[in-house]
Amino acid sequence: MRKLTKDLQPAERKAMRRVFWRSYAMNASRTGATQYHGLGFLWTLMPMIDLLYKDKPEERTKAIVRHTTWFNATLHLNDFIVGLVASMEKKNAEDPENFDASSITAIKASLMGPLSGIGDSFFWGILRVVAAGIGISLASAGSPLGAIVFWLLYNIPAYIIQYYSLYGGYSVGTTFIERLYESGGMKILTKVSSLLGLMMMGSMTASNVKFKTILAVTVKGSSQVMKIQTYLDQLFLGLVPLCVTLGAFYLIHNKHVNVNWVMLDIMILGIVLGLCGIC
Amino acid sequence: MLTHALLAFVAVFICFGGNYLTGQSMLERPLVVGLVTGLLMGDMRQGILMGASLEAIFLGNVNIGGVISAEPVTATVISTTFAITAGVSKGAALTLAIPIGMLAAFVVMFLKNVFFNIFAPVLDRIAAEGNERKINALQWGTWVFYYCIISAVSFIGVLAGSGPVNAFVTHIPKVVMNGLNAAGGLLPAVGFAMLMKLLWNNKLAVFYLLGFVLTAYMKLPAVAVAAIGIVICVVVAQSDMRYNKLASEGVKSNQSSNAHESKEEEEEDFFS
């Protein structure tokens, strides 16, 4: 981690450290749908703006107004944009004649989408799911460790990524993402994370979706009661949960049915099963 | 009931407000919310169990692009509060959480996309002044205001809802209760289905079955499945990387080998 900060001046390093900690609360404030986290972005960047435009109050105000525009990107990876913007502001402060300040807003706008695309699927789709899978299995036994382990498993990698995103953005700039795409590393990363995510999904379907029928049939001339659940289990363990999950997936993915409707369907299904005496 | 309503307010504020203060650190997920609510209401174990079940149900409820279909914090706090203080069975409380979550999602969407627009001109004004003190004040002021309103929803929900919920629970027929419990058991399927939509890839679909069988038949816990998954990931990544390298070498075969080496060196230097 040293390598990324070694070229920074002491004052610069201090300001960047404040930016790093502030970026955790970037999404805390709200100023409506037209700005989203614009205020948070500005507030996060303030230590750098104060440092860079110390003796230029006019330029400073311009920089502040520049960052009130709409901003929203996945946390942790959005630090890459913060770092990149900080380095561009630095160039702008040092050489305002030759630097086009409107390119700062342009780079913000163009990076938000692709970075959120990567960030959302990694943080929400993979990291959180793996952490939650382990957390749920601990918590299902009633242990408070479930929540704690879940929280740590998510936040330790997130911290590391946030750190490298901010200082990486500040020092290496736009070439970073291009290189990752060029080397084909991005494609492999996406593939293996989907693989791991799907495997965890399967495991969690088996342990969390529950179905048990109380239906039993008595055959004439025999004192034995045939429990339907036993037969279902012999056929394939967890057959009904698997079918219900794949059915819900089919409706959402292939038929584009609204999730709330699918949830409602399952609630109705449950109540009907209860009324018929199946569950 | 007033005490419980106040505690519900506190639980939502800690989890929801705290989540955005700590970089969306997942304090807002039912696993954590259940634990916090359980601790505050005096039945930690029940809170944890509710949290674990609700985490599975709301797993697919991802806050992507600011659009949510159900809001997990309010849903978890209110349903857990009822499970602990009003004697609602766990399965019924889980089913109850769904409509509460949808209603709360509506409130959240209205607040952040409509109501809080009143602060947009304020930011424009103080930015034009370049007043840093006011920027700080707005950053924190909107945070407190926004999460106080959302926490108030749970306060009112617990205060007004406990009477009807109590009456409902004592008079409900057993078959309907069974049905609600069955629905509670099947609902996580929707959560997983939504996440699979995010991850689905026809070529990788078999790994879903592998994960299912490992847990259903071999009773492996999630940690073991994750470890096996990581092993498969590393193997696949290595073979893909080798394939990529072979492919790129094929393309570059007519270039001098020196140029190729220097590029590789540069890349290694960059990632170190």
Are A94 and A218 members of one domain?
no
Among candidate residues A164, A197, A230, the one where a domain is terminated? A197
The per-residue pLDDT for range B142-176, each reduced to its tens digit, is: 999 999 999 999 999 999 887 787 777 677 787 88
In this predicted structure, the answer to whether residue A178 has a pLDDT above a threshold of 60 is: no
Backbone angles phi, psi at B67, to 5 degrees: -105, 125
Contacts 24+ apart (CB under 8 A), A230-239: A237/B216, A237/B217, A238/A205, A238/A206, A238/A209, A238/B212, A238/B216
Are A134 and A242 members of one domain?
no
The per-residue pLDDT for range B235-259, each reduced to its tens digit, is: 998 998 888 888 877 766 655 444 4
Segments forming the whole domain that contains residue A166? 2-197
Tally Cβ neighbours within 10 Å of residue A229: 14
List the single best residue of A121, A199, A252, A253 to mutate versus B (max B Cβ within 10 A).
A199
Q: What is the pLDDT of residue A181?
A: 61
Which residues on chain B are in Cβ contact (under 8 Å) with A142?
45, 48-49
* HEC sequence for B189-220: HHHHHHHHHHHCCHHHCHHHHHHHHHHHCCCC
Are B60 and B85 members of one domain?
yes
* pLDDT (average), residues A32-48: 89
Q: CB under 8 Å to B103, separation ≥6 — which residues? A: none
**How far does Cα B158 stand from its chain's mean position?**
22
CA pseudo-torsion sign B83, A229, B212, A254: negative
Q: What is the pLDDT of residue B249?
A: 77
Asked if A5 is an interface residue toward chain B (Cβ–Cβ < 8 A), one would say: no
* pLDDT (average), residues A225-253: 89
Confidence of residue B67 (pLDDT cuts 50, 70, 90): low
Segments forming the whole domain that contains residue B257? 201-272
Task: Pick the residue from chain A with its C-alpha nearest to B20.
Answer: A28
* pLDDT (average), residues A144-156: 95
C-beta separation of B188 from A197 below 8 A: no
Asked if A121 is an interface residue toward chain B (Cβ–Cβ < 8 A), one would say: yes
Lookup: tokens for B107? 């409130």
Alpha helices in chain A (DSSP H): 2-5, 10-22, 38-52, 57-66, 78-94, 102-119, 128-139, 145-172, 175-182, 185-208, 228-235, 239-249, 259-275
Distance (Å) from the C-alpha of residue A38 to the closest C-alpha of chain B?
Answer: 9
Residue A223 burial (C-beta neighbours within 10 Å; 0-12, 13-18, 19+): exposed
Q: Is A270–B225 a contact, with Cβ atoms under 8 angstroms apart?
A: no
In this predicted structure, the answer to whether residue B15 has a pLDDT above a threshold of 90 is: yes
Q: If you ran DSSP here, which 8-state letter would residue B71 be given?
A: -
Are B261 and B171 members of one domain?
no
Q: Is B210–A202 a contact, with Cβ atoms under 8 angstroms apart?
A: yes
> Which of A217-231, A260-274, B160-174 tops mean pLDDT?
A260-274
What ipTM does the predicted assembly reach?
Answer: 0.74
Q: What count of residues does chain A have?
A: 279
Q: What is the pLDDT of residue B230?
A: 86
Are B71 and B59 members of one domain?
yes
**Could you give the CA distance from residue B124 to residue B130 in angstroms, rounded to a whole number?**
10
Confidence of residue B92 (pLDDT cuts 50, 70, 90): confident
The per-residue pLDDT for range A64-89, each reduced to its tens digit, is: 998 988 888 888 989 999 998 998 88
Overall number of domains in chain A: 2
**Average pLDDT of chain A to the nearest whole number:** 85
Q: What is the pLDDT of residue A47?
A: 95
Are B61 and B194 members of one domain?
yes
List the single best residue of B79, B135, B212 to mutate versus A (max A Cβ within 10 A).
B212
- Indicate whether A163 belongs to any domain: yes
Which residues on chain A are in Cβ contact (under 8 Å) with B76?
none
**Average pLDDT of chain B to the nearest whole number:** 84
C-beta separation of A244 from B145 below 8 A: no
Q: What is the pLDDT of residue B78?
A: 94
